[in-house]
Amino acid sequence: MKRILTASLILLASVIICFCLFTPAIGAVSGQEVRIADKTGDWGNPSPYLAYARGSGYVRAHFIFDTLVWKNETAGPIPLLAEDWEYDLEEDVYVFNLSENAKWHDGKPVTAGDVAFTITYMKEHPYGWVVLESVDRAEVIGPHTVKIYMNGPYAPFMEDIGGTMPILPEHIWKNVANPMDFVEDGAFIGCGPFKYADFSKAHGSYRYEAFDEYHLGRPIIDQLIYVKTGDPQMALQHGEVDFADVKPDMADTIRAGGFVVIEGPHYWNKKLMINHNTAPLDNRTFRQALCYAINQSEFVDKSLRGYGKPASYGLISSESAWASPNVPDYPYNPAKAKEMISTLGYVWEDGVFTKDGKPLELQVLVSMIGAGGQPAPDRDGEILKNQLEKVGIRVDLTSLDTKVVDTKVINWDFDLAISGHGGIGGDPKILYEKTIQTPGAKPSPNTARYNRSEELNGLLDDLMHEMDPVKRRAAVYEAQNVYARELPAISLYCPTSYYAYDPDAGVEWFYTTGGIAKGIPIPQNKLALIGDGDGDGAMSGETAGTAGTAGTAEAAGTTETTATEAGTTVKKTPIAPGLAVIAILMAFVTMQMKRSNRKP
């Protein structure tokens, strides 16, 4: 019996030695998962048509579905599915050459036919994030080359369509008659760096698995998980998650705890939506009076505790390269607000304006909408109520869930509503999208649907179609100036957002220049999970618009790597030799025990 036991131990030791000496060591990230905290949880299924129509919904799907081009921390557009591209002004066409290595998650190759199909399908079944009225058609001119014909000049094309439209697999979607009902497994097959694994609407959780054959290199982690939690910051500090938004006044404390804290640009604004279909909100003078009645700095001081800045009345962020230097301003002036309201036939009676014996009263809808889609309790409703009542406007403050407020705004079932959105740091098309209801697009709770000013309409048309950079910039500047006079909506403030991550998780998160896709100010760019973790390993801004080939994980790092048969990379470590030595010692000790147990 002892001989059998001894032989078994020797055999086990030998197996360990062989395993350690001849099998490549698993990478440092093998089995690694990164967990992201989220207060809301449910942002819809991570499929283009089913994700909720806010930035967080788009982000949930962007890990699965790739676009033609993309943006990283410092540049855009840069290659993603497309390796290079060109625009022919005379023909008014874009030509994209796709990566020949790109595959769908079911193993089939990505082709130019998939791109052409996506455009045709989304023209027939409008997709909320992209409007294709400017596109005439797409033509396949090679297995991996597609030509996109425009209906006319369209200045925002590269960011608005090329960098936002998720490409769909034709072999799956060609049989889908109603994309809003498509929830079968095929609905979640994309060609992005991660495969869909699980979504729980009840728990508000998402789980993605790394796609080993991703054409820009396998992701540096194995699983990405979103976790719903009531206190993201606490979850981060307790080690339950690796990435979370944190309270601004706790940023230094979090940083001192060994976390990396990143401060975001002011690409998100809290704003006052206005029902300009009802009196007196349909009157520009009254809307300007509201601006004089509103003290933006009080919102920053009380709601944000100083962590933010007053927003531009021209909507575009003052930190954007497109910000007009001459946007009209409305310094806090309650007396002027009263004076302007009185010119509209209202009479001051016992601290309230009245007309025809009825008090001037407005309902204000509020919710906990916050930057990045994270619910954020604030004092906005209370502050606005006090400011408006000081100038004789009675306020009925109604607090509702964000999605309920959104629905009421879309249905014009409101007077005023405090809402918010990002995108104000990206392409200035955002000014068009948030002013005019884009033809073919679903109504947005953040779009004013205002077309009463012919001057503003003309300028918005120019910023959409003027291809000359100098002329387009002039149109963008003047559009902001006129917007600030017309006031389709009133921007209140831009919060300073802080996120923190655990550097030991191996991912270096970053804010995207101009925001993800068409301007989403959430620091969860999928390029952080490719290459060396900062978005530069997969590709760099220097390759944008060129025939450059995106780099791989091997090119990104300085650590020596070994290629496996699967095409992934693994780091060599000193662990294997150490285990081999331990195995040899185990065998030696076993033999000595055997000998010591022998009878003399």
- CA-CA distances (angstroms) from residue 500 to 111, 246, 507, 590? 38, 7, 11, 50
Domain count across the chain: 3
For residues 122 and 199, state if they share a domain.
Answer: yes
For residues 20 and 44, state if they share a domain.
Answer: no
For residues 6 and 140, state if they share a domain.
Answer: no
Query: Is 522:516 a contact under the CB 8 Å cutoff?
Result: yes
For residues 240 and 295, state if they share a domain.
Answer: no
Cross-strand pairs, 138: 148
Cross-strand pairs, 142: 145
For residues 109 and 127, state if they share a domain.
Answer: yes
Per-residue model confidence as pLDDT tens for the chain (600 residues):
444 444 444 444 444 444 443 333 333 334 799 999 999 999 999 999 999 888 899 999 999 999 999 999 987 899 999 999 999 989 999 999 999 999 999 999 999 999 999 999 999 999 989 989 999 999 999 999 999 999 999 999 999 999 999 999 999 999 999 999 999 989 999 999 999 999 999 999 999 999 999 999 999 999 999 999 999 999 999 999 999 999 999 999 999 999 999 999 999 999 999 999 999 999 999 999 999 999 999 999 999 999 999 999 999 999 999 999 999 999 999 999 999 999 999 999 999 999 999 999 999 999 877 665 556 667 899 999 999 999 999 999 999 988 899 999 999 999 999 999 988 998 999 999 999 987 766 788 999 999 999 999 999 999 999 999 999 999 999 999 999 999 999 999 999 999 999 999 999 999 998 899 988 989 999 999 997 544 443 444 434 343 333 332 322 333 222 222 223 333 333 333 444 444 444 444 444 443 344 333
For residues 155 and 233, state if they share a domain.
Answer: yes
Cross-strand pairs, 366: 399
Per-residue pLDDT tens for 321-331?
999 999 999 99
Q: Per the structure block, which two tokens stand in for 122? A: 């989304």
Per-residue pLDDT tens for 186-209?
999 999 999 999 999 999 999 999
In DSSP notation, 542-565 reads GGTTSSPPPP-HHHH--S-EEE-T
Residue 518 falls within a domain, yes or no? yes
Residue 101 falls within a domain, yes or no? yes
Q: Write out the residue range of the structural domain in which residue 212 sits.
A: 36-249+504-556
For residues 405 and 489, state if they share a domain.
Answer: yes
For residues 153 and 10, state if they share a domain.
Answer: no
> Last residue of some domain: 445, 469, 495?
495
CATH number of residue 368's parent domain? 3.10.105.10
For residues 416 and 446, state if they share a domain.
Answer: yes
Residue 289 falls within a domain, yes or no? yes
Amino acid at 147: K
Residue 263 falls within a domain, yes or no? no
Strands 358-359, 361-366: pairing is: unpaired
Residue 571 falls within a domain, yes or no? no
CATH number of residue 141's parent domain? 3.40.190.10
